[in-house]
Structure 1
């Protein structure tokens, strides 16, 4: 028989942990039969060999296997197992068939072998009944040939006692169906599967069905996965919980999931991580069933690092209530870090007040068997169905047919989505205007043609002229990344002012550079009388003028969300928002605001709760005029994080607590024992309730303020508590 030798640079570490009647004790200090490797004895266990270590040497794997079989044992014993085999940082290119055909290992680690591209499915046949842990880590070329990757899964299927699998940092591109099927038909020991940091883009149906461990972690992060089919996460039905499925850092979008991707898993899931993908919304038919768990334990969905948009379809996340163990009433679920875009604050029901009304509802499992303390009205599903029918009936009608491509060139039009995409090769606004004028003549419609979206991006135009859209209307207008755009005529969007629901000006750094044209820009925004959302983000605005939003075409009663984040705003004029009666969200974060006058944030009386974001500005303790915040005549949450505020001035802030408010002060240089903060530790009555609450309990920051902290301070400087208008605990 010809011995085929593999001479490689190898780091080989072997540990023996189990004695055997045929085991031969060897003194590793004097015996050199494994040179150039060295072995080590376990001095506390009768000088049994504990380790064999071969580091950066040429070694014949076949010969080594023979030496282990012939010299460590007088007679080969199938019951003898070696704890660990480690192959690390070598020049090895392949691990051939039956290299360790008779040696049994409990753990195998193949780490950081940059030339290794193949492991034969029969390489470790001796370990089929013993191997518990396999780590194949950072072998960048491993299975770079997809035709050979099948052997990886056949190799794994041989080991019937696996507890942990880690195959990370390799070149594998897919996971086949039934990838983890065991030769003995059981996979109830395997609790940890880590396939992260590979090049996986597709996963076969029923890939994980054979994993039946009572507790399972499935890590698929840092890959290239772009779709999840409806049969991918199907498991053998069981009451056992899957602790984690990690799909973070992939290429998943909102449309990557089938409606049944998670509805028929067969097992409950505790945590699903979708962090750092490309998801912009969460569809209830896809994710709702994950929260409605029959075991009533909490489910966590992690979505931080996605640009989630607060559209009406997201309303279910705050409207549906689920029944959990040890709760006397149903509770709304927790979606970890569910925020919209770059917002600081998680979404609330106020974010959807402009949407068709959706009734609070109980999940199906709540209705099936919750206790009598919960009012499960028999009409709950009827209400839900009515809501669905209502929204279906009021849905926008299909967009009209796009004009001929040669007429609108270089713009594109998609009849299915109803989107016009212009700008990339447009060098003059006249070109844009001519496109829509000619399109109007060709279609010969007497009325406005209403499409879903107008996207104008990456152009080099410096202005948008009057009536540029001619007779076209759009439900959404998005003007994005036009570096030279300085001016927009007040009648630029005349045909769509009464139609458009959402307005975006994103990444246009020259808007606001010419101060004389800033008021014209706000006049444009003010004329979108039916808009529910206006965002002017990452532009060049340096100030918000007096009376910025005026009722030029009527009061903007539908406007709920307004953002001027990531501009260069230094000052906010007088009464810019006073004509916005139903505003719910106002963001001015990431600017340079250092002063707020008495009229900067003035809002008229309303019961509507408003969230105001002033984080990441240059505000300090003296930046607020005495009535700057009390001019907000409604309940509000105020975000002041990441400023330079050292204390809250009693004159400015105390009167605010007449209403239901919260103030967030994280990452400000607040001195928790500053005597000027003493007033916040005092208590006030909560409306008609019998309990009391301290002012500090409505301030969210790093301090816990108690009266004992201020013993060194003088007596209280204020006279009495404020009489409440509403209940601060409401």
Structure 2
């Protein structure tokens, strides 16, 4: 049962309070969130509401302890186009209650520092199940993004930056970015501009039999953009790489262990769109296709001659690579 306290509607405008949902829609640059949450806290200290919805074209930051002890199960930020900075302590008091954090067409572009740290703030939501941020200007997911003193987000199942009509601006995934999130089922990073993924970015610290689905479709990935042992070895994983038109090689240092016996028999890699190099950069795939059972693990890979990559012989693959050039005609982001 949510909190049923609502301030006087005239004093609470432009926010509304209805059936334990607080909605603030700011169209005239006259919203003072600190004032509104102070009003709520004065009437219902530590009150638990179901949902907070914010639509605001003017707000630029979420400061520390914004909510004054008022608690929510769900936060929705829509169209906060100037909201670049989130203080790492913005969600103080919400960690036990928040189940979902959802944002669409909000900015979040401020570089990480002591007063702006989106992922630091999200990492305080210790019981969150789903984080969905689409159409944002988040530039990167930093190293150890979710490794915080409060401990791992052990209930987090889904991180979704994709699936929006508006592509995101992610260019880089740091090393060990998701390594503490052992309950993850889905990481959707599709329709971004990712060109670099750090070592062990998706490695997990705990063994699991649950499949982790990683969607990296429609990015700017190339072979040299992968760090070592990017993917987990202690749980089954499905990796989607379709539409990365510069991805003409799968680097052995990033993929071998995941596809080998040290990985998992249920591991899958899907790659359609780019034409794979017929040279030593991909020789290891042909050399090990039987040992690694790649016919049941690697799907859609075509050579530059249009033939399935795994149909080539070792002799055909054993030649020097041509000079690597960036294909600017990757997925059209517009």
* 1:321 and 2:299 matched: no
Q: Is the 8 A contact 2:87 2:116 kept in 1?
A: no
Q: 1:63 to 1:331 in 2, by over 3 A?
A: closer
User: Of the candidates 98, 106, 118, which is equivalent to residue 73 of structure 2?
Assistant: 106
Contact 1:201 1:224 in 2 (8 A): yes
Counterpart-to-counterpart distance in 2, 1:182 and 1:160? 10
Name the CA distance, whole Å, in 2 between partners of 1:61 and 1:353.
65
Aligned-partner SS, 1:193? strand
Q: What is the distance in 2 between the residues matched to 1:56 and 1:120?
A: 21
1:120 equivalent in structure 2: 87
Residue 218 (1) aligns with residue 216 (2):
no
Residue in 2 aligned with 1:18? 2
2:158 aligned with 1:188? no
RMSD of the TM alignment (CA)? Answer: 3.6
Quote the residue 1:133 is aligned against: 100
Partner of residue 335, structure 1: 298
**Partner residue of 1:67?**
39
Q: Note closer, same or farther for the CA distance 1:315–1:125 as it changes in structure 2 (3 Å cut).
A: closer
Counterpart in the other structure of 2:133? 167
The separation in 1 between residues aligned to 2:89 and 2:285, in whole angstroms, is 51
Aligned match of 2:12 in 25, 34, 53? 34
Distance in 2 between residues matched to 1:88 and 1:130, nearest whole Å: 22
- Mapped to 2, the partners of 1:113 and 1:205 lie a distance apart of 29
Q: Provide the C-alpha distance between the structure 1 equivalents of 2:322 and 2:256, rounded to a whole number of angstroms.
A: 29
Deviation at 1:192, TM superposition (A): 0.8
8 Å contact from structure 2 (residues 236, 266) kept in 1:
no
Following TM superposition, by how much is the alpha carbon of 1:60 offset from its aligned partner in structure 2, in angstroms?
2.4
Instruction: Specify the SS of the correspondent of 1:316.
Output: helix
User: In the aligned structure 1, how far is the partner of 2:196 from the partner of 2:9?
Assistant: 57
Which residue in the other structure is 1:280 paired with? 248
Matched residue, 2:122: 156
Distance 2:198 2:23 in 1: 46
Query: Structure 1 regions of 5+ residues with no counterpart?
Result: 1-16, 41-48, 324-329, 357-390, 397-416, 420-452, 454-730
Shift of 1:320: 2.6
Tell me by how many angstroms 1:100 deviates.
0.8
Aligned equivalents of 2:62, 2:34: Cα separation in 1: 10
> Contact 1:229–1:261 at 8 Å: present in 2 too?
yes
Q: Name the CA distance, whole Å, in 2 between partners of 1:338 and 1:90.
A: 44
Aligned to 1:291: 259
Aligned twin of 2:331:
none
Take 2:150 and 2:322, find their aligned partners in 1: how far apart are those partners? Answer: 55
> Which whole-Å CA distance do the structure 2 matches of 1:121 and 1:298 have between them?
38
2:86/2:116 contact within 8 Å kept: no
| TM-score calculated relative to the size of structure 2 | 0.78
Selected match of 2:226 from 257, 269, 292: 257
* Deviations 1:481-532 (CA, angstroms, capped at 9, x unpaired): xxxxxxxxxxxxxxxxxxxxxxxxxxxxxxxxxxxxxxxxxxxxxxxxxxxx
Residue 353 (structure 1) shift: 7.5
**Following TM superposition, by how much is the alpha carbon of 1:289 offset from its aligned partner in structure 2, in angstroms?**
2.7
Conserved in 2, the CA contact under 8 Å of 1:219 and 1:245? Answer: yes
Report if the CA contact (8 A) 1:319-1:332 is conserved: no
RCO higher in 1 or 2 (8 Å CA, sep ≥ 6)? 2
CA contact (8 A) 2:179 2:200 kept: no
TM-aligned CA deviation for residue 37 of structure 1: 4.4
> Equivalents in 1 of 2:236, 2:176: separation in Å?
16
Q: Which 10-residue stretch deviates more, 314-323 or 282-291?
A: 314-323
CA distance in 2, matches of 1:53, 1:202: 34
* Cα offset, 1:295, TM superposition: 8.1
CA displacement at 1:133 relative to structure 2: 1.3
Deviation at 1:332, TM superposition (A): 3.1
Where does residue 355 of structure 1 map in the other structure?
A: 316
Question: Do structure 1's residue 55 and structure 2's residue 22 form an aligned pair?
Answer: no
Radius of gyration: which is bigger? 1
Say if 1:139 and 1:149 are closer, same or farther in 2 by CA, change over 3 A.
farther
In the alignment, is the contact (CA less than 8 A) between 1:303 and 1:336 conserved in 2? yes
Equivalent residues of 1:181, 1:210 under 8 A apart: yes
- Give a deviation string over 1:342-394, Cα, whole Å, max 9, x none: 83x64453x338538xxxxxxxxxxxxxxxxxxxxxxxxxxxxxxxxxx7xxx
Residues 121-163 of structure 1: CA distance to partner in whole angstroms, max 9, x if unpaired?
23331312211211233123x3345547852122112221111
Residues 148/223 of structure 1: CA separation in 2 closer, same or farther (3 Å cut): farther
Question: What is the CA-CA distance between 1:285 and the residue it aligns to?
Answer: 4.9
Provide structure 2 residue ranges, at least 5 long, that are not aligned to the other structure: 325-334
Give a deviation string over 1:609-638, Cα, whole Å, max 9, x none. xxxxxxxxxxxxxxxxxxxxxxxxxxxxxx
Q: 1:234 to 1:341 in 2, by over 3 A?
A: same
* Structure 1 residues 255 and 315, CA gap change in structure 2 (3 angstroms): same
Whether contact under 8 Å (1:146, 1:172) holds in the other structure is: no
CA contact (8 A) 2:235 2:264 kept: no
Distance 2:61 2:264 in 1: 49
1:207 aligns with 2:177: yes
TM-score, normalised by the number of residues in structure 1? 0.39
